[in-house]
Chains A and B, each alone.
Chain A
């Protein structure tokens, strides 16, 4: 089966800053704790399991997978701030988790950052069963949304 859909989030952004600088902001917990979360306890070397604080969403433990200056950084976590209201600080590797990968490449004088998060199809049901309030949008709209994910 050649598809893992809808199993992936894939987003990119171009940043007008050198790749070394962007890499540091992503992989230094001191900086990560300012743009991603509200602070971090622990370090980001591969194999370590720091805890990030996401304010009202709770704390989340990361399992750092890999860090290759200045092009790649990856971790696993049990994520989904809207659907894990109390956070998740257990060992992510012992639970169904998602893999977050940052890919950096120089573009002119700036940096292209691409984030891919995969593994949603493996999350257990109860992590994602919250807040089913409104139910708008037609069938075509929904299928198109699915296709968008599928074609990424």
Chain B
């Protein structure tokens, strides 16, 4: 598995692809046809977006008979979330330290 955060970020930086992702049930692979049904994007556009998600390893495209099934790979997402969480936590800690220091009455600057 290519668990690469930046690739995931790039792939998700698009409202169409986020919309596709929201339609997916992580426990239930769905055919490409069904996934794109009723969406405002063209079939060709939808396939293109799925291809990007697949290249980022966010979804897996699996041929099954005459269909291609779309399966979510939540590992890739998890890693990205963890990365941003870690950065966020670092900032939260730093800002708390800044506040503490700024509010110290004995500190002359």
Contacts and interface: CB of A to CB of B under 8 A. Distances in A.
A16 B77 contact: no
B83 A13 contact: no
Interface stretch (A40-48, A85-93, A120-128): A120-128
B6 interface: yes
Given A25-B98, A36-B98, A132-B3, A142 B74 contact: yes
A80 interface: yes
Interface residues of B, number: 47
Contact of A13 (B7, B15, B99): B99
Contacts of A142: 74, 77-78, 81
Interface in B58-87: 72, 74-75, 77-87
A139 B72 contact: yes
Interface string A20-61: 011011101001001110000000000000000000000000
Nearest to B72: A139
Interface in A121-143: 121-129, 132, 135-139, 142-143
B9 A7 contact: yes
A4 B10 CA distance: 9
B83 A146 contact: no
Interface of B: 2-7, 9-10, 12-15, 18, 21-22, 25-27, 72, 74-75, 77-88, 90-92, 94-103, 109
Chain A interface size, as a band, is: 35 or more
A121 B10 contact: yes
Nearest to A150: B18
A125 B57 CA distance: 13
23 contacts: A6-B80, A7-B13, A11-B92, A22-B102, A25-B98, A31-B101, A36-B94, A36-B98, A82-B83, A82-B87, A83-B83, A115-B91, A115-B95, A121-B13, A122-B10, A124-B6, A126-B4, A135-B74, A139-B27, A142-B77, A146-B12, A146-B18, A146-B77
Interface of A: 1-7, 9, 11, 13, 15-17, 21-22, 24-26, 28, 31, 34-36, 79-83, 111, 113, 115, 117, 120-129, 132, 135-139, 142-143, 145-146, 149-150
A125 B84 contact: no
Contact of B90 (A25, A81, A143): A81
Given A1-B15, A146-B18, 10 more contacts: A3-B18, A5-B12, A31-B109, A35-B98, A83-B86, A117-B91, A135-B78, A136-B78, A139-B26, A142-B77
